[in-house]
Structure 1
Amino acid sequence: MDLLRAGLLEDMNWRDNEQKQQWIAETDWLYSRQFNIEEDFFGCQSILLRCEGLDTLADILVNGQKVLHADNMFRTWEVDVKDYLHVGVNRLEVHFYSPVPYMTERQKERSLPCWNSYDPRYRGKSWLRKMPCSFGWDWGLMAVTCGIWRDISLVGVHRARITDVAFTQKHCNGDVAIDVTARISRVKGQNLHLVARIGRNGNDRIIANDVELPYTDATLPLVLEEPELWWPNGLGKQHLYTLTVELVDGDSNEIIDVWQKRIGLRKLELDRHHDQWGESFQFKINGVPFFAKGANWVPADILIPRLTRDDYRRLIGAAADANMNMIRAWGGGIYEQDEFYECCDELGVLVWQDFIFACSTYPTFDDDFMDSVEAELEDNIRRLRHHPCIALFCGNNELEQGLVADSWNERSMSWSDYGRLFDHLMPKLIARLAPQIPYWPCSPHTPIGDRRVFNDPTCGDAHCWDVWFGGRPFEFQREWKHRFMSEFGFQSFPELRTIESFTEPRDRNLTSYIMDYHQRSAGGNRKIFAYLLDWFRMPSGLDETLWLTQVTQAVAIQYACEHARRAQPRMMGTLYWQINDLWPCASWSSIDVFGRWKALHYLAKRFFAPLMVSIVEDRILQTMAVHVSNHLLVKKQLLCQWWATRVDGTMLGGGEMKVEAEPQSDMQVDIFDCADQIKKHGERDIIFWAYLFDGDDIVSANFQTFVKPKHLELLDPQIHVDVAAGDQDGEFTIFLNANYPALFVRLQIAGVDAQFSDNFFALDGSRERRVTVRPKEPLRLEELHKKLLVRSLVDSYAANE
């Protein structure tokens, strides 16, 4: 990042520049600066140098004297440096060492098998506590970072300071009892007090407690009568309280130190109980089971310090906008920045938090490694445990999926060494430091029977890659009977403007060297096109081809997520891979590296909607089954309508039913027999539609066909478009109708990024659709008229015919 800012490094996204920059990982680096110390600062009894993030092998020198050696990117390092400082100008130096020689030497001691190894220099990466995906992954570049990635500060301690604050909450009859335990580091003096306060919206409803501190820690009980609780997105509001703990001098009433965090009052559980299908895997919030829906999260930039709160707010906001209530922070990245969790708290997006171990074996037999990992875990559990968004701590990603065996070999580590970290150390630390947060050793994990048999449909969670890696048809996902789907996915390309950001015109062929270079999943582009051509006609031109890969991806994930909702309560969660990118490339993301929503993210907003109608076709029985799903916590009185049409919109019959949808449930409302229509018109001439109404409002709409869309003889839909100013400044309303059914209607504003309220939807030819849009740059109404592009599935191939 510093080399880029200084103009000494080329853009890592551009073409194959990644290859030119691997020398950075093989180079040592020196950061240095001068700083001034005033004389009164030396009145402190101790002066701590606090390094919150050093990446990764580093010696720290103060005025030429070595005070610390760091070897873990994820730890906070502290050392008393008062004896090394003087009044006036001082010098701090941080010497970073290339990780390559270290990894090479340690790998000679014992080779650590791993997946996702893209360069032989980096095969010993698991010897280091460093962001795994910086060494490359199957959706990202190799950029082995180095440097200061979180703040460095000097902390002066006069008499004492607060070193740790933890709290537990107990919910009973609408009240919440909070026990706040604070620990201090005392330098000198007596008569110290701890004061705990909790309040919200300024100073309303403050509850306070004050105790004398005879030792180094104390517990302060607080009771809130009928407080407002914190709920995940879609289930209620995200009420946040401010918890403050002050260390006070009892003689002078001077505040010596303050700890302050925003917290949420909620009871969250991982509920595992015996049921008719085996053992449940479901989350409960404030006593209520709910369906978890969302996606997996990877670091949003390979250069983490570039990310701002606005970046996190935009991405987490997009998750919430798509009706997600959970994100899995995947174990191949980092323990995210504080802003990430703060945004999740505010928006009601729960976090399944992996510890940073993924797709590799680890030297848990090495005591120094384990000591460093223990300190890392303690630091991060303490940092994250107060956030209401933290739903679960998970030990690792996919180690139990083939990287563990009875003994060490060329592919696996031993179960005994695996257990030392994931079955013993981690649960012990969580029980001590965060006893109210559930722990899960691995994703996926089979808790009953043989844990080597991953993806057991009777218990635990699953990573199902039957489609992408297994080559199964999209429809196969309807066979899933798992209890919780924590990972699955399908790839697509980003849109043309994103492609243009890293290519020259000569590269813009999907089989070019550069396009292949920006595809890191072996055979990925072949898989994309194999499925695209299975579902859709050959598209015309690069732009339409890119969009159609996104529609293919969206259909793949829609099949899985709608099935998961119909399988509730047997299956109680689905998190697709993945929501975001850190590199412009072909990937599984639903939002590209520039924050542009792909078709998948728009469809996710619909298939994760609180109230949803879905349809299951049966070509053998020639029927369409209509389902209604309710993910709210209240019963809903709804109206469901369904009908079949020909591709020209001619009505072939239908029905409707008033539906009493129970909370957190799915119900089949009808099976519509299409045999007569198929006999008369053929299955290639039929589209089946379903709408769900809450009062006069359409809350969900869907369609289904008996054949793949490529075999439908769709007509030019003749879409009519009008645009008007919206209710808010900078917002517009688009009105759309069509003479004939239109599938996957796509809205764009030429050359302008924009957020649409809906996109890639269907028009049945009889009903107007309204869409709001907010361009990301100011536009006049007449400009929007000129720049607005409206396309449908027919347009993707019309030029070829």
Structure 2
Amino acid sequence: MSETINLGGQWELTGSDATGQREPVTVEALVPGHVHHDLQLGGIIADPRVGYNAEECQWIESMQWKYKKTFELERIPEGYPVLHFEGVDTYAAIYLNGIRLGRTDNMFVNYRFEVAGVLRTGRNELEVVFSTVDEALKGKPYGNYEAAFTNERVYVRRMQCTFGWDWVNRFVSYGIWRPVRLAFEPAATIADVYVYTQSLDASGAAIRYCLEVGRRLSEPLRAEATMRDPRGNVVWQADKPIFGDKLELTASLREPELWWPAGYGDQPLYTVETTIRTASGRALQTRVVQFGVRTVRIQQLQDAPGSREAEMTTRLREQFSLWDHNGDRPGSSFSLLVNGREIYCNGANWVPVDPFPSRVDEKHYAHLLRLARDSHFTMIRCWGGGIIEPEIFWSECDRLGLLVSQDFLMACGKYPEDDEEWTRSLRAEAETGIRALRNHPSLVWWNGDNENAMFYDEENPAYPGRKVAETITGRLCAELDPSRPFMPSSPFGGSPNLSFTVGTSHVTGIMLEMIEYLRTHDMDDYRDYFSSFISRFCPEFPMFGTPEIHSMRRFMSEEQLQDPTFKMIEYHTKNHPGLTDFSLFKALELLGEKLTPSTDNIVERIRRMSFVQRELTQIVVESYRRNRFYTGGLLFWMYNDCWSASGWSLVDYYGYPKGGYYGIKAASKPVIASVERDRTNGSILCWVCNERLEQSNGIGRLFVLSLDAEATDKAMWSSEFEFAVAPGSSAAAATFDDAELRSYLDNRHVLVMEIEGAFGTDRSVWFTGRPAELQLAPSEARIAKRTDAEGGGTLIVTANRYAHSVMLHGEYVFSDNYFELLPGESKTVPYYSIAGAQEKREIELHAWN
């Protein structure tokens, strides 16, 4: 069996300026790592997450950097010495003992170098010498390629977002960002093991087992494979000769335990242990992989003439005629089937959790994914301007039942698809990514890129990304990962690909139109407006909001926080390139001003910019669920943050939920109540939306509450109804005529819908007009706190009168937040600490009244 030496840990990092304008820099470095982080640890730069410090470290990208490590070998172990770099960012020459081994040019490729004859006993010196991005781009005509934010990035195979985006500053860094090891390999190695469900029916599952080996010898080899169920019981074994460098077998499993997404079943994981041996029986190498027994398929069905789907398609094409040119072409659904069952995909987009991902620990990944699962997510989309996330991300998604769609790593631009050097590198990158991820049951489909062809027709022979999708990414998926669908781009389908009635659609594609609405309307109709963007499947729906105040204090001073011009917050919000006379932050500020009561308190104004994200995400989720017959899923832009930003994310950079997170969580429970006012006749519809696997039956009640009512006061009007809603559907369980309720539809009353059944309870509060217009009476909202030994506890929240937007503030994760309380109600809110029990922090309650 092979011996491996970990070459991570402490290295020496030196930087020099070819122009001589800067003094050389030498610091200790950590590998895996990035230059920026090492310079921060070494006291050379201030924390680039804080204030304007990001601007003060832009010089780093123009320096020439070199990593150096010396290591001793008392002996050279048996085997063939191979140096493995699992990730180098990006352009670097590798030297061992002064001998150049080769060059790297892609952040996402694993590099291996044979070092027999170069490695020696005693002292060895390993050097990684980086070229600047500017140096690597000399002679490249990147000016010919349109791209969002900056166009030189299209030639550089590294995480695109850190060239600067509308949620992260520019951080072009360098580093050995994933592990380095020296392996002494046997004469034959396991190159790859791929296990997938080939077919699944009532008789069982056919599991395809694919082994690839690397050979340095011609003698016969044998493979031993043992498959175990989730409890460790052997369910299949094979001992076969290997002819050539591949072996493919089929295992038949009777009554397999199926892997399901969260909310649809359990997540059992099988294992396969593979050992390759010589003809004499000597074990050369062993590898264990996990997999889940499950199938995935994307189903796209044309709307039947005269169906309600066809009626909805007609209405959407009339409403969004600027972005839908499909004419008389039938609309078509977009649904994900797992094990033959349709899955409603509810979730958000994942971006890199740090500009320097090498410094992120596994606990942070686990925390973020736990939050996603707790919010009833079923899907995460790994966005194409980021990275292939590490194993901890994927193993947690497998364990939690979070489905993932993965973009190939190109975003928002035209790429040099005819450049041979670039396509060679992309091909190696795509193969690396496919092989790394294809055993994970959580991965359900691939996208060729993000938004490169958004404004083109799917039939256009020259849409950006088509050549790459047909000759590289799509072809490799068909060859290396036949168990999953491949979509050429996201969004994709129809004329143009952005259109809402065919395929997938990014509402982010019309974000500027949404901002224009904010600027030019009083927003009395804001519910109808934000409920109108229904599509067959929405992989991106944008909704911004500020982080909690305690998070903002980590990246700005109190003086900057209290600045009435919000300059620092605007800097950390970044901006969209299409907003030349406006900004994303100004749009968010305007949204807060129009939807919430005016206040001179700066901190309160910031908090209300978080409320609006909560309000609008809940509205959008409910609208998609009410139209469940038409849509297959909704993913928000975006889930997490890459930097200390104030903008699109639902969870901030430090791992704390923002207002939008709680809005989605409230609207994503398996069974929800939702009140809607019909736009045509003014009637009030009481919807019940059911994502359980069985019918949901229960009792509902709609009543009118006066905003100055106390606990002992009776409802001014009420009506009860029964409901029975089929699984995976929604229904208007009761309808009330406008005339019956018209006298209560003002700013002194709210409508409250409550439902109850075996599933539990839910509530929806509805009022006419904007929240800012509500005539709220003092609520006397208060909290009582019970703590536990782990740094968490339980809150009991009460109010004497109706309390609107009860906000809990503190460095904790709350089970609910930004909620309403009815008069006399007592609500229990569990909470926990990210930091742990060692730090006790205060919790504050704020409500509008």
Determine the C-alpha separation between the residues in 1 that align with 2:98 and 2:723: 76
1:259-310 per-residue CA deviation (whole Å, 9 max, x = no partner) reads: 2222111111111222334211110111110210000111101110111111
Distance 1:729 1:15, change over 3 A: closer
Q: Distance in 2 between matches of 1:369 and 1:740?
A: 64
Contact 1:59 1:66 in 2 (8 A): yes
CA 1:214–1:154 in 2, change beyond 3 Å: closer, same or farther? same
Deviations 1:375-427 (A, max 9, x none): 110011010011011011101111112489999xxxxxx91773220233221
Alpha-carbon separation, structure 1, partners of 2:242 and 2:203: 31
* Aligned with residue 699 of structure 1, among 755, 761, 772: 761
Deviation at 1:510, TM superposition (A): 4.8
Match of 1:608 among 668, 671, 675: 668
Please name the residue that 1:459 is paired with. Answer: 503
Quick one: which of 726, 743, 749 aligns to 1:686? 749
Q: Per-residue deviation at 1:512?
A: 4.1
Q: Is the 8 A contact 2:186 2:285 kept in 1?
A: no
CA distance in 2, matches of 1:289, 1:363: 38
Label 1:26 to 1:495 Cα distance change in 2 as closer, same or farther (>3 A).
Answer: same
Map 1:264-283 → 2, pairs under 5 A: 264-276=292-304, 277=310, 278-283=331-336
Q: Which amino acid aligns with 1:279?
A: S
Counterpart among 707, 710, 719 of residue 655 in structure 1 = 719
Query: Matched residues in 1 for 2:508 and 2:684: separation?
Result: 26
Alpha-carbon distance, 1:569 to partner: 2.1
- Give the partner amino acid of 1:736: V
Deviation by residue 1:723-771 (Cα, 9 ceiling, x = unmatched): 4467x8654332233221111111234xxx1122111111121533221
Indicate how the Cα distance of structure 1 residues 291 and 643 shifts in structure 2: closer, same or farther if over 3 A, else same. Answer: same
TM-score by length of 2: 0.86
Alpha-carbon contact 2:703-2:751 (below 8 Å) kept: yes
Find the counterpart in structure 1 of residue 259 from structure 2.
230
How big is the alpha-carbon RMSD for the aligned residues of Structure 1 and Structure 2? 2.4
Local SS of the residue matching 1:657: strand
Shift of 1:775: 3.8
Among 797, 801, 814, which residue is 1:740 paired with?
A: 801
Provide the secondary structure at the position in 2 that maps to 1:380. Answer: helix
Alignment of 1:144-543 (within 5 A): 144-169=172-197, 170-173=199-202, 175-188=204-217, 190-201=219-230, 203-252=232-281, 254-276=282-304, 277=310, 278-402=331-455, 415=462, 418-446=465-493, 448=494, 450=495, 452=496, 454-464=498-508, 466=510, 469-470=513-514, 471-472=516-517, 474=526, 475-508=528-561, 509-521=563-575, 522=579, 523-543=583-603
Question: Which consecutive residues of structure 1, in runs of 5 or more, have no partner in the other structure?
Answer: 118-122, 408-413, 795-801
Give the superposition deviation at 1:439.
Answer: 0.5
1-side partners of 2:836 and 2:464: how far apart? 58
Q: Which of 115, 118, 121 is 1:81 aligned to? A: 115
- Give unmatched runs, 5+ long, in structure 2: 1-36, 305-309, 311-330, 518-522
Taking the aligned partners of 1:406 and 1:661, their CA distance within structure 2 comes to 40
> Partners of 2:780 and 2:573 in 1: how far apart?
37
Aligned to 1:675: 739
Secondary structure class of the residue paired with 1:563: helix
**d(CA) in 1 for partners of 2:843 and 2:674?**
30
**CA separation in 2, counterparts of 1:203 and 1:250?**
28
Report the counterpart of residue 18 of structure 2 in structure 1.
Answer: none
Shift of residue 702, structure 1, vs aligned partner: 1.6
The equivalent of 1:798 in structure 2 is none
Contact 1:652–1:677 (Cα < 8 Å) also in 2: no
**Contact (CA 8 Å) 1:747, 1:789: kept in 2 or not?**
yes
Q: What SS class does the counterpart of residue 192 from structure 2 fall into?
A: strand
Q: 1:107 to 1:458 in 2, by over 3 A?
A: closer
Partner of 2:90: 56
Answer whether contact 1:468 1:489 (CA < 8 A) is retained. no
Shift of 1:466: 4.6
Contact 2:196–2:291 at 8 Å: present in 1 too? no
**CA–CA distance in structure 1, aligned partners of residues 446 and 826 of structure 2:** 46
Comparing 281-290 with 510-519, greater Cα deviation is found at 510-519
Aligned equivalent of 1:92: 126
Compared CA separation, residues 498 and 729, structure 1 to 2 (3 A): closer
CA positional deviation for 1:162: 0.9
Q: Is the 8 A contact 2:538 2:634 kept in 1?
A: yes
- Cross-structure match for 1:799: none
Shift of 1:542: 2.2
Q: Structure 1 residues 231, 566: closer, same or farther in 2, change over 3 A?
A: same
What amino acid does structure 1 have at the position aligned with 2:585? N
Contact 1:689 1:702 survives alignment (8 Å): yes
Aligned to 2:28: none
1:529 shift after superposition: 2.0
Tell me, in whole angstroms, the C-alpha distance in 2 between the residues paired with 1:720 and 1:8.
Answer: 47
- Counterpart of 2:735 in structure 1: which amino acid? I
Equivalent of residue 690 in structure 2, options 615, 630, 637:
630
Write the letter of the residue equivalent to 1:722. Answer: A
Show CA shifts across 1:119-167 (max 9, x none): xxxx311111111111110001111010100111122222200112222
Structure 1 residues 540 and 621, CA, compared in 2 at 3 Å: closer, same or farther?
farther
Tell me the SS of whatever aligns to 1:55: coil
- Residue 467 of structure 1 contacts residue 490 of structure 1 at CA under 8 Å; is this kept in 2? no
The secondary structure found in structure 2 opposite 1:310 is: helix
- Correspondences of 1:33-52 after superposition (within 5 Å): 33-41=69-77, 43-44=78-79, 46-52=80-86
Residue of structure 2 equivalent to 1:590: 650
Does structure 1 residue 579 correspond to structure 2 residue 639? yes
Residues 288, 207 of structure 1: CA spacing in aligned structure 2 closer, same or farther, 3 A cutoff?
same
Candidates 591, 610, 629, aligned match of 1:550:
610
State the partner residue of 1:717: 779
Partner-residue secondary structure (3-state), 1:327 = strand
Q: Describe the superposition over 1:324-361 as per-residue Cα deviations: whole angstroms up to 9, x where unpaired.
A: 01011100111111111111111111111011000111
Please say if 1:11 is aligned against 2:11: no
Q: Structure 1 pair 224/159, CA: closer, same or farther in 2 (3 Å)?
A: same
Q: How far is 1:200 from its partner?
A: 3.8
Q: Secondary structure at the match of 2:652?
A: coil
How far apart, in 2, do the equivalents of 1:135 and 1:422 lie? 24
Q: 1 CA distance for matches of 2:635 and 2:388? A: 19
- Give the secondary-structure state (helix, strand or coil) at the position aligned to 1:702: strand
Distance 1:780 1:128, change over 3 A: closer
Alignment partner, residue 758 of structure 1: 816
Match of 2:105 in 1: 71
Q: 1:53 to 1:688 in 2, by over 3 A?
A: same
Question: Under a length normalisation based on structure 1, what TM-score does the superposition of the two structures give?
Answer: 0.91
Flag the 1:332–1:532 CA change in 2: closer, same or farther, 3 A: same
**Partners of 1:166 and 1:386 within 8 A in 2:** yes
Asked if the contact 2:790/2:836 (under 8 Å) is kept, the reply is: no
Preserved CA contact (<8 Å) 2:195 2:291: no
In the alignment, which residue of structure 1 is the partner of 2:171?
Answer: 143
Equivalent residues of 1:290, 1:631 under 8 A apart: no
> Which residue among 822, 827, 845 is the counterpart of 1:769?
827
CA contact (8 A) 2:698 2:723 kept: yes
